[in-house]
Structure 1
Amino acid sequence: MPRSWHSADGLEMCRLIFLFFTFAVFWSFSRAQGVKHLMRQLTYCHIEMMDAGFELEFDGEELWHVDPNDYTAKQRLPEFAGDWTLDRNLPSLAHLSIGTCFYNIPRCITGEKNPPESIVPPSTQLYTKSDVKLGVENTLICSVTNFHPPPVNVSWTRNGELVSEQDVSETQYYSNPDFSFRLFSYLNFRPEQGDIYTCSVRHRGLERDITRFWEVDVPEDSQEVETAVLVIGILVGFLGFVVGIFIIVMSKMELRAV
Protein backbone atom coordinates (compact mmCIF):
# COMPACT_ATOMS: atom_id res chain seq x y z
CA MET A 1 0.00 0.00 0.00
CA PRO A 2 1.45 3.44 -0.90
CA ARG A 3 2.93 5.32 2.04
CA SER A 4 0.92 8.37 1.01
CA TRP A 5 -2.04 6.68 2.68
CA HIS A 6 -0.43 7.00 6.11
CA SER A 7 0.18 9.90 8.44
CA ALA A 8 3.37 9.55 10.49
CA ASP A 9 2.30 12.21 12.98
CA GLY A 10 -1.10 10.59 13.44
CA LEU A 11 0.36 7.12 13.92
CA GLU A 12 2.81 8.36 16.56
CA MET A 13 -0.08 9.87 18.51
CA CYS A 14 -2.15 6.70 18.24
CA ARG A 15 -1.73 4.63 21.40
CA LEU A 16 -4.77 2.46 20.89
CA ILE A 17 -6.13 0.32 18.10
CA PHE A 18 -9.07 1.79 16.28
CA LEU A 19 -11.33 0.57 13.56
CA PHE A 20 -12.95 2.54 10.86
CA PHE A 21 -16.14 1.33 9.23
CA THR A 22 -17.53 2.46 5.94
CA PHE A 23 -20.97 1.09 5.36
CA ALA A 24 -22.80 1.46 2.10
CA VAL A 25 -26.27 0.12 2.75
CA PHE A 26 -28.65 -0.66 -0.04
CA TRP A 27 -32.18 -1.95 0.35
CA SER A 28 -33.65 -3.89 -2.54
CA PHE A 29 -37.08 -5.37 -2.83
CA SER A 30 -38.11 -8.55 -4.55
CA ARG A 31 -40.76 -7.69 -7.11
CA ALA A 32 -42.20 -11.18 -6.93
CA GLN A 33 -42.63 -11.48 -3.16
CA GLY A 34 -41.94 -8.01 -1.80
CA VAL A 35 -39.13 -9.36 0.42
CA LYS A 36 -36.66 -6.87 1.88
CA HIS A 37 -32.93 -7.61 1.43
CA LEU A 38 -29.78 -5.95 2.70
CA MET A 39 -26.53 -5.53 0.77
CA ARG A 40 -23.67 -4.03 2.76
CA GLN A 41 -20.11 -2.96 2.05
CA LEU A 42 -17.65 -3.16 4.95
CA THR A 43 -14.20 -1.59 5.25
CA TYR A 44 -12.06 -1.80 8.37
CA CYS A 45 -8.43 -1.08 9.20
CA HIS A 46 -6.19 -1.93 12.15
CA ILE A 47 -3.71 0.86 12.80
CA GLU A 48 -1.07 -0.78 15.00
CA MET A 49 -1.06 -4.16 13.23
CA MET A 50 -1.48 -2.61 9.77
CA ASP A 51 -4.29 -5.05 9.02
CA ALA A 52 -7.35 -4.26 6.93
CA GLY A 53 -10.35 -5.81 5.23
CA PHE A 54 -12.96 -5.10 2.59
CA GLU A 55 -16.02 -7.20 1.77
CA LEU A 56 -19.51 -7.19 0.30
CA GLU A 57 -22.34 -8.92 2.16
CA PHE A 58 -25.86 -9.89 1.16
CA ASP A 59 -28.38 -10.66 3.91
CA GLY A 60 -25.52 -11.29 6.35
CA GLU A 61 -23.60 -13.65 4.05
CA GLU A 62 -20.33 -12.71 2.39
CA LEU A 63 -20.38 -12.46 -1.41
CA TRP A 64 -16.87 -11.17 -2.08
CA HIS A 65 -13.87 -10.04 -0.11
CA VAL A 66 -10.71 -8.37 -1.35
CA ASP A 67 -7.35 -9.62 -0.10
CA PRO A 68 -5.47 -6.48 1.05
CA ASN A 69 -2.11 -8.15 0.35
CA ASP A 70 -2.54 -8.31 -3.43
CA TYR A 71 -5.99 -6.71 -3.89
CA THR A 72 -7.54 -9.70 -5.59
CA ALA A 73 -11.27 -10.34 -5.19
CA LYS A 74 -12.27 -13.73 -3.80
CA GLN A 75 -15.71 -15.27 -3.53
CA ARG A 76 -16.82 -16.91 -0.31
CA LEU A 77 -19.45 -19.14 -1.96
CA PRO A 78 -18.14 -20.24 -5.38
CA GLU A 79 -21.22 -22.40 -5.98
CA PHE A 80 -23.15 -19.16 -6.53
CA ALA A 81 -20.58 -17.69 -8.90
CA GLY A 82 -23.02 -17.88 -11.79
CA ASP A 83 -25.54 -15.71 -9.95
CA TRP A 84 -23.19 -12.83 -9.07
CA THR A 85 -21.02 -10.90 -11.50
CA LEU A 86 -17.87 -9.33 -10.08
CA ASP A 87 -17.54 -5.60 -10.59
CA ARG A 88 -14.12 -5.08 -12.18
CA ASN A 89 -13.72 -1.90 -10.16
CA LEU A 90 -14.08 -3.75 -6.84
CA PRO A 91 -10.30 -4.16 -6.18
CA SER A 92 -9.71 -0.48 -6.99
CA LEU A 93 -12.61 0.51 -4.75
CA ALA A 94 -11.15 -1.63 -1.94
CA HIS A 95 -7.71 -0.03 -2.38
CA LEU A 96 -9.21 3.45 -2.17
CA SER A 97 -11.49 2.61 0.76
CA ILE A 98 -8.76 0.93 2.85
CA GLY A 99 -6.33 3.74 2.08
CA THR A 100 -8.91 6.31 3.17
CA CYS A 101 -9.42 4.36 6.39
CA PHE A 102 -5.70 4.41 7.26
CA TYR A 103 -5.47 8.08 6.30
CA ASN A 104 -8.47 9.30 8.30
CA ILE A 105 -8.28 7.29 11.52
CA PRO A 106 -5.26 9.11 13.05
CA ARG A 107 -6.90 12.45 12.24
CA CYS A 108 -10.18 11.33 13.78
CA ILE A 109 -8.33 10.27 16.92
CA THR A 110 -6.64 13.65 17.16
CA GLY A 111 -9.84 15.54 16.42
CA GLU A 112 -11.78 13.61 19.08
CA LYS A 113 -8.91 14.01 21.60
CA ASN A 114 -8.06 10.32 21.91
CA PRO A 115 -11.46 8.83 22.83
CA PRO A 116 -11.51 5.50 24.72
CA GLU A 117 -11.51 2.42 22.55
CA SER A 118 -14.47 0.06 22.53
CA ILE A 119 -13.23 -3.46 23.37
CA VAL A 120 -15.74 -6.31 23.59
CA PRO A 121 -14.54 -9.90 24.24
CA PRO A 122 -15.99 -12.72 22.11
CA SER A 123 -18.41 -15.51 22.90
CA THR A 124 -17.56 -18.98 21.59
CA GLN A 125 -19.28 -22.28 20.84
CA LEU A 126 -17.97 -25.63 19.60
CA TYR A 127 -20.17 -28.14 17.77
CA THR A 128 -20.19 -30.61 14.88
CA LYS A 129 -21.65 -30.10 11.44
CA SER A 130 -23.31 -33.54 11.32
CA ASP A 131 -24.31 -36.34 13.66
CA VAL A 132 -21.21 -38.16 14.88
CA LYS A 133 -20.40 -41.66 13.64
CA LEU A 134 -17.09 -43.32 14.42
CA GLY A 135 -14.71 -43.36 11.47
CA VAL A 136 -16.95 -41.14 9.32
CA GLU A 137 -15.53 -37.76 8.26
CA ASN A 138 -17.14 -34.76 9.92
CA THR A 139 -16.45 -31.09 10.65
CA LEU A 140 -16.03 -29.32 13.98
CA ILE A 141 -17.20 -25.71 13.95
CA CYS A 142 -15.84 -23.11 16.36
CA SER A 143 -18.02 -20.00 16.25
CA VAL A 144 -16.54 -16.76 17.60
CA THR A 145 -19.17 -14.06 17.89
CA ASN A 146 -19.95 -10.54 19.10
CA PHE A 147 -16.38 -9.26 19.51
CA HIS A 148 -14.77 -5.91 18.78
CA PRO A 149 -12.31 -5.09 17.39
CA PRO A 150 -10.58 -7.71 15.21
CA PRO A 151 -8.42 -9.67 15.16
CA VAL A 152 -9.07 -12.94 16.97
CA ASN A 153 -6.72 -15.92 16.84
CA VAL A 154 -8.17 -19.44 16.76
CA SER A 155 -6.10 -22.58 17.38
CA TRP A 156 -7.07 -26.27 17.41
CA THR A 157 -5.66 -29.33 19.19
CA ARG A 158 -6.34 -33.05 19.07
CA ASN A 159 -5.40 -34.96 22.21
CA GLY A 160 -3.18 -32.06 23.26
CA GLU A 161 -1.33 -31.77 19.93
CA LEU A 162 -1.79 -28.96 17.43
CA VAL A 163 -3.66 -30.13 14.34
CA SER A 164 -2.43 -29.74 10.77
CA GLU A 165 -3.21 -26.37 9.19
CA GLN A 166 -4.39 -28.23 6.09
CA ASP A 167 -7.42 -29.46 8.04
CA VAL A 168 -8.41 -25.97 9.25
CA SER A 169 -10.22 -23.19 7.39
CA GLU A 170 -11.73 -19.87 8.48
CA THR A 171 -14.20 -17.33 7.22
CA GLN A 172 -13.50 -13.64 6.90
CA TYR A 173 -14.72 -11.30 9.63
CA TYR A 174 -18.48 -10.93 9.25
CA SER A 175 -20.07 -7.74 10.56
CA ASN A 176 -23.09 -7.47 12.84
CA PRO A 177 -25.66 -4.64 12.91
CA ASP A 178 -24.17 -3.37 16.20
CA PHE A 179 -20.68 -3.04 14.59
CA SER A 180 -19.35 -6.14 16.35
CA PHE A 181 -17.86 -9.05 14.40
CA ARG A 182 -18.19 -12.81 14.06
CA LEU A 183 -15.93 -15.48 12.59
CA PHE A 184 -16.17 -19.25 12.05
CA SER A 185 -13.28 -21.71 12.12
CA TYR A 186 -13.68 -25.23 10.69
CA LEU A 187 -11.74 -28.41 11.46
CA ASN A 188 -12.17 -31.47 9.25
CA PHE A 189 -11.71 -34.65 11.28
CA ARG A 190 -12.52 -38.37 11.48
CA PRO A 191 -14.04 -39.22 14.90
CA GLU A 192 -12.31 -41.94 16.90
CA GLN A 193 -13.56 -43.05 20.29
CA GLY A 194 -11.97 -41.11 23.17
CA ASP A 195 -10.33 -38.36 21.08
CA ILE A 196 -10.47 -34.90 22.67
CA TYR A 197 -10.48 -31.74 20.55
CA THR A 198 -10.11 -28.15 21.70
CA CYS A 199 -10.74 -24.78 20.11
CA SER A 200 -8.88 -21.89 21.77
CA VAL A 201 -9.68 -18.24 21.04
CA ARG A 202 -7.40 -15.29 21.81
CA HIS A 203 -8.59 -11.68 21.82
CA ARG A 204 -7.24 -8.53 23.43
CA GLY A 205 -10.47 -8.17 25.42
CA LEU A 206 -9.81 -11.47 27.24
CA GLU A 207 -7.59 -11.87 30.28
CA ARG A 208 -6.83 -15.41 29.08
CA ASP A 209 -7.78 -17.54 26.10
CA ILE A 210 -11.22 -19.13 25.91
CA THR A 211 -10.89 -22.89 25.33
CA ARG A 212 -13.79 -25.15 24.41
CA PHE A 213 -13.48 -28.94 24.67
CA TRP A 214 -15.22 -31.59 22.59
CA GLU A 215 -14.78 -35.32 23.20
CA VAL A 216 -15.70 -38.17 20.88
CA ASP A 217 -18.05 -40.20 23.03
CA VAL A 218 -20.26 -42.49 20.99
CA PRO A 219 -21.77 -45.25 23.20
CA GLU A 220 -20.74 -48.66 21.93
CA ASP A 221 -24.22 -50.02 22.51
CA SER A 222 -25.58 -47.43 20.07
CA GLN A 223 -23.26 -48.79 17.39
CA GLU A 224 -24.40 -52.32 18.25
CA VAL A 225 -28.04 -51.27 18.12
CA GLU A 226 -27.54 -49.69 14.69
CA THR A 227 -25.87 -52.88 13.45
CA ALA A 228 -28.61 -55.06 14.95
CA VAL A 229 -31.35 -52.92 13.39
CA LEU A 230 -29.60 -53.14 10.02
CA VAL A 231 -29.29 -56.94 10.24
CA ILE A 232 -32.90 -57.33 11.36
CA GLY A 233 -34.05 -55.09 8.53
CA ILE A 234 -32.17 -57.20 5.99
CA LEU A 235 -33.56 -60.44 7.44
CA VAL A 236 -37.12 -59.11 7.50
CA GLY A 237 -36.78 -57.93 3.92
CA PHE A 238 -35.40 -61.29 2.80
CA LEU A 239 -38.13 -63.15 4.69
CA GLY A 240 -40.78 -60.98 3.07
CA PHE A 241 -39.28 -61.73 -0.33
CA VAL A 242 -39.33 -65.50 0.33
CA VAL A 243 -42.91 -65.40 1.64
CA GLY A 244 -43.99 -63.41 -1.39
CA ILE A 245 -42.43 -65.95 -3.78
CA PHE A 246 -44.05 -68.80 -1.83
CA ILE A 247 -47.50 -67.20 -2.05
CA ILE A 248 -47.14 -66.60 -5.79
CA VAL A 249 -46.06 -70.21 -6.40
CA MET A 250 -48.91 -71.61 -4.30
CA SER A 251 -51.42 -69.41 -6.10
CA LYS A 252 -50.26 -70.69 -9.49
CA MET A 253 -50.46 -74.30 -8.29
CA GLU A 254 -54.03 -73.79 -7.07
CA LEU A 255 -55.04 -72.27 -10.40
CA ARG A 256 -53.61 -75.24 -12.28
CA ALA A 257 -55.43 -77.67 -9.98
CA VAL A 258 -58.73 -75.94 -10.73
Structure 2
Amino acid sequence: SGHTCNEHACSRRVHAQRVCVCLLCPPVPHPLSVPAEPSLHTLSEVLFCQPDTPTLGLSVAFDSEQLFSFDVPNSQWLPQLPDGPSWPAGIEQPHELLHDTSLCQELLDLLTSIATGPLPMPEAKGIPVADVFLQQPLQLGYPNTLVCMVGNIFPPAITIRWQRNGIPVTDGVTHLTYIPAEDLGFMRFSYLAVTPRSGDVYACIVTRERDNISVVAYWVPQDPIPSDVLATAVCGAVTALGILLALLGLGLLLSARRRGMWGQWRQQGRPPHTH
Protein backbone atom coordinates (compact mmCIF):
# COMPACT_ATOMS: atom_id res chain seq x y z
CA SER A 1 0.00 0.00 0.00
CA GLY A 2 1.12 3.56 -0.61
CA HIS A 3 0.99 6.67 1.53
CA THR A 4 0.02 10.08 0.16
CA CYS A 5 0.45 13.29 2.15
CA ASN A 6 1.44 16.92 1.98
CA GLU A 7 3.70 17.79 4.88
CA HIS A 8 2.58 20.81 6.90
CA ALA A 9 -0.06 21.65 4.30
CA CYS A 10 -3.14 23.68 5.26
CA SER A 11 -6.22 23.99 3.07
CA ARG A 12 -7.76 27.30 1.99
CA ARG A 13 -10.95 26.41 3.77
CA VAL A 14 -9.02 26.08 7.02
CA HIS A 15 -7.22 29.39 6.54
CA ALA A 16 -10.48 31.30 6.48
CA GLN A 17 -11.60 29.92 9.82
CA ARG A 18 -8.49 30.78 11.86
CA VAL A 19 -7.93 27.10 12.31
CA CYS A 20 -4.82 25.49 10.94
CA VAL A 21 -5.04 21.79 10.18
CA CYS A 22 -1.74 20.20 9.24
CA LEU A 23 -1.32 16.79 7.71
CA LEU A 24 1.94 15.37 8.95
CA CYS A 25 3.58 12.37 7.35
CA PRO A 26 5.38 9.92 9.59
CA PRO A 27 8.51 8.45 8.01
CA VAL A 28 7.68 5.38 5.97
CA PRO A 29 10.39 3.00 4.74
CA HIS A 30 10.69 2.94 0.98
CA PRO A 31 10.67 -0.51 -0.64
CA LEU A 32 13.39 -1.47 -3.06
CA SER A 33 10.92 -1.36 -5.93
CA VAL A 34 7.68 0.58 -6.08
CA PRO A 35 4.90 -1.39 -7.79
CA ALA A 36 2.85 0.47 -10.36
CA GLU A 37 -0.46 0.25 -8.55
CA PRO A 38 -2.78 2.84 -7.00
CA SER A 39 -2.59 3.68 -3.32
CA LEU A 40 -4.89 1.44 -1.31
CA HIS A 41 -4.56 2.93 2.18
CA THR A 42 -3.66 6.24 3.80
CA LEU A 43 -1.88 6.66 7.12
CA SER A 44 -2.43 10.23 8.29
CA GLU A 45 -1.37 12.28 11.29
CA VAL A 46 -3.54 15.37 11.70
CA LEU A 47 -2.55 18.29 13.91
CA PHE A 48 -4.81 21.31 14.46
CA CYS A 49 -4.49 24.50 16.50
CA GLN A 50 -7.08 27.21 17.06
CA PRO A 51 -8.09 29.99 19.48
CA ASP A 52 -11.07 27.96 20.68
CA THR A 53 -11.03 25.07 23.13
CA PRO A 54 -9.33 22.70 22.59
CA THR A 55 -6.49 24.90 21.37
CA LEU A 56 -4.50 21.93 20.13
CA GLY A 57 -5.36 18.48 18.83
CA LEU A 58 -3.40 15.65 17.29
CA SER A 59 -4.50 12.24 16.03
CA VAL A 60 -3.29 9.36 13.90
CA ALA A 61 -5.69 7.53 11.58
CA PHE A 62 -5.51 4.66 9.13
CA ASP A 63 -7.89 5.46 6.30
CA SER A 64 -11.01 6.68 8.13
CA GLU A 65 -10.33 4.78 11.38
CA GLN A 66 -8.66 6.73 14.17
CA LEU A 67 -5.91 4.77 15.91
CA PHE A 68 -4.39 7.19 18.42
CA SER A 69 -4.97 10.66 19.83
CA PHE A 70 -2.57 12.82 21.79
CA ASP A 71 -3.56 13.88 25.30
CA VAL A 72 -2.03 17.35 25.40
CA PRO A 73 -2.50 18.12 29.14
CA ASN A 74 -0.90 14.82 30.15
CA SER A 75 1.53 14.75 27.20
CA GLN A 76 0.87 11.15 26.17
CA TRP A 77 -0.52 9.13 23.30
CA LEU A 78 -3.81 7.34 23.90
CA PRO A 79 -5.28 4.49 21.82
CA GLN A 80 -8.74 5.04 20.38
CA LEU A 81 -9.96 1.76 21.87
CA PRO A 82 -9.57 1.28 25.63
CA ASP A 83 -8.00 -2.15 25.12
CA GLY A 84 -6.03 -1.11 22.04
CA PRO A 85 -2.23 -1.37 21.72
CA SER A 86 -0.05 1.35 23.22
CA TRP A 87 1.91 3.87 21.17
CA PRO A 88 5.08 2.24 19.74
CA ALA A 89 8.18 3.15 21.72
CA GLY A 90 10.75 5.25 19.91
CA ILE A 91 8.31 6.72 17.36
CA GLU A 92 7.56 10.45 17.63
CA GLN A 93 7.77 10.93 21.35
CA PRO A 94 5.97 13.89 23.01
CA HIS A 95 9.05 16.13 23.11
CA GLU A 96 9.44 15.70 19.35
CA LEU A 97 6.04 17.30 18.76
CA LEU A 98 7.11 20.73 20.03
CA HIS A 99 8.37 21.78 16.61
CA ASP A 100 5.12 20.80 14.90
CA THR A 101 2.95 22.58 17.46
CA SER A 102 5.08 25.73 17.23
CA LEU A 103 4.87 25.66 13.44
CA CYS A 104 1.08 25.23 13.59
CA GLN A 105 0.74 28.27 15.86
CA GLU A 106 2.99 30.36 13.61
CA LEU A 107 0.92 29.39 10.57
CA LEU A 108 -2.26 30.19 12.46
CA ASP A 109 -1.04 33.69 13.34
CA LEU A 110 0.09 34.32 9.76
CA LEU A 111 -3.11 33.07 8.17
CA THR A 112 -5.25 34.99 10.67
CA SER A 113 -3.56 38.24 9.66
CA ILE A 114 -4.16 37.42 5.98
CA ALA A 115 -7.79 36.41 6.49
CA THR A 116 -8.59 39.59 8.45
CA GLY A 117 -6.60 41.93 6.18
CA PRO A 118 -7.83 44.36 3.50
CA LEU A 119 -9.44 41.48 1.61
CA PRO A 120 -11.07 39.46 4.39
CA MET A 121 -11.95 35.90 3.59
CA PRO A 122 -15.36 34.52 4.57
CA GLU A 123 -15.38 32.12 7.48
CA ALA A 124 -15.86 28.45 6.74
CA LYS A 125 -18.25 26.87 9.21
CA GLY A 126 -19.96 23.54 9.34
CA ILE A 127 -23.35 23.06 10.97
CA PRO A 128 -23.07 19.94 13.14
CA VAL A 129 -25.26 16.97 12.27
CA ALA A 130 -26.15 14.63 15.15
CA ASP A 131 -27.60 11.13 15.19
CA VAL A 132 -28.48 9.05 18.28
CA PHE A 133 -28.73 5.26 18.30
CA LEU A 134 -28.31 2.27 20.62
CA GLN A 135 -25.07 0.34 20.70
CA GLN A 136 -26.89 -2.98 21.30
CA PRO A 137 -30.38 -4.22 20.30
CA LEU A 138 -33.13 -2.74 22.43
CA GLN A 139 -34.38 -4.64 25.47
CA LEU A 140 -36.48 -2.54 27.80
CA GLY A 141 -35.25 -2.63 31.38
CA TYR A 142 -31.76 -3.90 30.48
CA PRO A 143 -28.55 -1.80 30.53
CA ASN A 144 -27.40 -0.45 27.19
CA THR A 145 -25.41 2.44 25.71
CA LEU A 146 -26.68 5.37 23.68
CA VAL A 147 -24.31 6.71 21.04
CA CYS A 148 -24.44 10.31 19.82
CA MET A 149 -22.54 10.59 16.54
CA VAL A 150 -21.81 14.18 15.51
CA GLY A 151 -20.49 14.96 12.03
CA ASN A 152 -19.75 17.99 9.86
CA ILE A 153 -17.88 19.68 12.72
CA PHE A 154 -15.79 22.70 11.77
CA PRO A 155 -14.10 24.22 13.65
CA PRO A 156 -13.52 21.43 16.20
CA ALA A 157 -15.04 23.35 19.11
CA ILE A 158 -18.37 21.96 20.31
CA THR A 159 -19.90 20.78 23.56
CA ILE A 160 -22.13 17.71 23.85
CA ARG A 161 -24.72 17.38 26.60
CA TRP A 162 -27.28 14.68 27.40
CA GLN A 163 -30.82 14.97 28.75
CA ARG A 164 -33.35 12.39 29.91
CA ASN A 165 -36.96 13.56 29.95
CA GLY A 166 -35.72 17.17 29.89
CA ILE A 167 -33.36 16.72 32.86
CA PRO A 168 -29.57 17.03 32.32
CA VAL A 169 -27.61 13.79 32.71
CA THR A 170 -23.92 13.69 33.61
CA ASP A 171 -23.44 10.23 35.11
CA GLY A 172 -22.35 7.54 32.70
CA VAL A 173 -21.26 10.01 30.00
CA THR A 174 -18.09 9.45 27.96
CA HIS A 175 -16.83 11.90 25.30
CA LEU A 176 -14.25 10.90 22.72
CA THR A 177 -11.77 13.23 21.06
CA TYR A 178 -12.28 14.82 17.65
CA ILE A 179 -11.80 12.49 14.70
CA PRO A 180 -10.58 14.02 11.41
CA ALA A 181 -12.72 13.41 8.33
CA GLU A 182 -11.71 13.25 4.69
CA ASP A 183 -13.36 16.63 3.94
CA LEU A 184 -11.06 18.34 6.50
CA GLY A 185 -13.94 18.51 8.96
CA PHE A 186 -14.24 16.49 12.14
CA MET A 187 -16.44 13.92 13.86
CA ARG A 188 -17.04 13.28 17.53
CA PHE A 189 -18.76 10.54 19.53
CA SER A 190 -20.40 10.71 22.93
CA TYR A 191 -21.71 7.72 24.91
CA LEU A 192 -24.36 7.53 27.62
CA ALA A 193 -24.98 4.46 29.79
CA VAL A 194 -28.76 3.94 29.94
CA THR A 195 -31.43 1.48 30.99
CA PRO A 196 -34.20 2.13 28.43
CA ARG A 197 -37.76 2.22 29.74
CA SER A 198 -41.03 2.86 27.98
CA GLY A 199 -41.86 6.57 27.81
CA ASP A 200 -38.28 7.84 28.15
CA VAL A 201 -37.09 10.64 25.87
CA TYR A 202 -33.34 11.11 25.50
CA ALA A 203 -31.73 14.13 23.87
CA CYS A 204 -28.19 14.74 22.65
CA ILE A 205 -27.55 18.50 22.54
CA VAL A 206 -24.62 19.73 20.44
CA THR A 207 -23.65 23.37 20.95
CA ARG A 208 -21.13 25.58 19.18
CA GLU A 209 -20.39 28.17 21.84
CA ARG A 210 -18.89 30.82 19.58
CA ASP A 211 -22.09 31.20 17.54
CA ASN A 212 -24.48 29.99 20.25
CA ILE A 213 -25.89 27.41 17.82
CA SER A 214 -27.37 24.17 19.13
CA VAL A 215 -28.46 21.02 17.34
CA VAL A 216 -30.63 18.48 19.17
CA ALA A 217 -31.09 14.81 18.30
CA TYR A 218 -33.76 12.78 20.12
CA TRP A 219 -34.13 9.09 20.82
CA VAL A 220 -37.27 7.39 22.14
CA PRO A 221 -37.32 3.65 22.93
CA GLN A 222 -39.85 1.78 20.84
CA ASP A 223 -41.20 -1.29 22.65
CA PRO A 224 -40.21 -4.20 20.39
CA ILE A 225 -42.71 -6.99 19.77
CA PRO A 226 -41.62 -10.20 21.56
CA SER A 227 -40.41 -12.86 19.16
CA ASP A 228 -42.95 -15.47 20.32
CA VAL A 229 -45.83 -13.02 19.92
CA LEU A 230 -44.54 -12.01 16.50
CA ALA A 231 -44.22 -15.66 15.43
CA THR A 232 -47.75 -16.42 16.63
CA ALA A 233 -49.14 -13.40 14.81
CA VAL A 234 -47.35 -14.29 11.58
CA CYS A 235 -48.50 -17.92 11.81
CA GLY A 236 -52.10 -16.84 12.42
CA ALA A 237 -52.00 -14.41 9.52
CA VAL A 238 -50.60 -17.07 7.18
CA THR A 239 -53.25 -19.59 8.31
CA ALA A 240 -56.07 -17.09 7.81
CA LEU A 241 -54.73 -16.20 4.39
CA GLY A 242 -54.56 -19.89 3.44
CA ILE A 243 -58.17 -20.49 4.52
CA LEU A 244 -59.31 -17.42 2.62
CA LEU A 245 -57.54 -18.56 -0.55
CA ALA A 246 -59.01 -22.07 -0.18
CA LEU A 247 -62.54 -20.70 0.13
CA LEU A 248 -61.96 -18.40 -2.81
CA GLY A 249 -60.72 -21.32 -4.94
CA LEU A 250 -63.70 -23.48 -3.93
CA GLY A 251 -66.09 -20.67 -4.80
CA LEU A 252 -64.49 -20.21 -8.22
CA LEU A 253 -64.68 -23.98 -8.85
CA LEU A 254 -68.39 -24.16 -7.98
CA SER A 255 -69.10 -21.10 -10.07
CA ALA A 256 -67.31 -22.63 -13.06
CA ARG A 257 -69.24 -25.93 -12.75
CA ARG A 258 -72.53 -24.07 -12.42
CA ARG A 259 -71.83 -22.09 -15.55
CA GLY A 260 -70.94 -25.29 -17.41
CA MET A 261 -74.24 -26.96 -16.41
CA TRP A 262 -76.28 -23.93 -17.54
CA GLY A 263 -74.52 -24.03 -20.88
CA GLN A 264 -75.41 -27.71 -21.40
CA TRP A 265 -79.08 -27.13 -20.52
CA ARG A 266 -79.36 -24.27 -22.95
CA GLN A 267 -77.89 -26.35 -25.76
CA GLN A 268 -80.38 -29.16 -25.02
CA GLY A 269 -83.31 -26.72 -24.90
CA ARG A 270 -84.60 -27.79 -21.48
CA PRO A 271 -84.63 -25.93 -18.23
CA PRO A 272 -82.66 -27.18 -15.25
CA HIS A 273 -84.32 -29.38 -12.65
CA THR A 274 -85.27 -27.54 -9.52
CA HIS A 275 -85.78 -29.23 -6.17
TM-score by length of 1: 0.69
Question: Would the alpha carbon gap of residues 120 and 41 (structure 1) be closer, same or farther in structure 2, given more than 3 Å must change?
Answer: same
Q: Which amino acid aligns with 1:97?
A: D
2:75 aligned with 1:71: yes
Please tell me whether residue 192 in structure 1 is matched to residue 197 in structure 2: yes
- Whether 1:19 and 2:25 are equivalent positions in the alignment is no
Give, in angstroms, the shift of residue 53 of structure 1.
0.5
Following TM superposition, by how much is the alpha carbon of 1:197 offset from its aligned partner in structure 2, in angstroms?
Answer: 0.7
Q: Percent identity?
A: 23
Contact preservation (8 Å) 1:71, 1:95: no
Indicate if the aligned counterparts of 1:121 and 1:206 stay in contact, CA closer than 8 A.
no
Q: CA deviation at 1:127?
A: 1.0
Structure 1 unmatched runs, 5+: 1-15, 230-258
Query: What is the match of residue 264 of structure 2?
Result: none
Task: Please point out which of 150, 155, 159 is paired with 2:156.
Answer: 150
When residues 19 and 93 of structure 1 are mapped into structure 2, their CA distance, relative to the original with a 3 A threshold, is farther
Which amino acid is the alignment partner of residue 132 of structure 1? L
Q: Secondary structure at the match of 1:21?
A: strand
Residue 61, structure 1, aligned to residue 68, structure 2: no
Partner of 2:55: 51
Distance 1:22 1:177, change over 3 A: same
**1:138 alignment partner in structure 2:** 144
Change beyond 3 A, Cα 1:216–1:223: farther
1:94 to 78, 94, 97: 97
Change (3 A) 1:169 1:203: same
Name the one with the larger helix percent. 1
**Change over 3 Å in CA distance of 1:125–1:102 after alignment to 2:** same
Amino acid at match of 2:22: T
Where does residue 226 of structure 2 map in the other structure? Answer: 222
Assess if the C-alpha contact under 8 Å between 2:50 and 2:108 holds in 1. Answer: no
Which residue, 149, 174, 179 being the options, matches 1:174?
179
Using a 3 Å threshold, how does the CA distance of structure 1 residues 103 and 195 change in structure 2: closer, same or farther? same
Per-residue deviation, 1:189: 0.9
**Contact 1:54–1:94 (CA<8 Å) still a contact in 2?**
no
Q: Which residue of 1 aligns with 2:166?
A: 160
**Could you say what secondary structure the match of 2:100 adopts?**
helix
Partner of 1:211: 216
Distance 1:21 1:87, change over 3 A: farther
Worse-matched range after superposition: 128-137 or 41-50: 41-50
What is the CA distance between 1:216 and its match in structure 2? Answer: 2.0
For structure 2, the residue ranges without an aligned partner over 5 or more in a row are 1-15, 234-275
Paired with 1:185 and 1:228, the residues of 2 have a C-alpha distance of 39
Q: What are the superposed Cα offsets for residues 11-50 of structure 1, whole Å, 9 maximum, x if unpaired?
A: xxxxx96111110357999x9xx98211101111112546
CA drift at 1:169: 1.1
**CA distance, structure 1, for counterparts of residue 227 and residue 199 of structure 2:** 15
CA distance in structure 2 between the aligned counterparts of 1:131 and 1:206, rounded to whole angstroms: 36
Decide which moves more: 37-46 or 86-95.
86-95
Per the alignment, in what secondary structure is the counterpart of residue 162 of structure 1? strand
Letter paired with 2:133:
Y
Map of 1:238 onto structure 2: none
* Conservation of the 8 A alpha-carbon contact between 1:121 and 1:205: no
- For residues 213 and 114 of structure 2, the distance between their equivalents in structure 1, rounded to whole angstroms, comes to 34
Whichever of the two has the greater Rg, that structure is 2
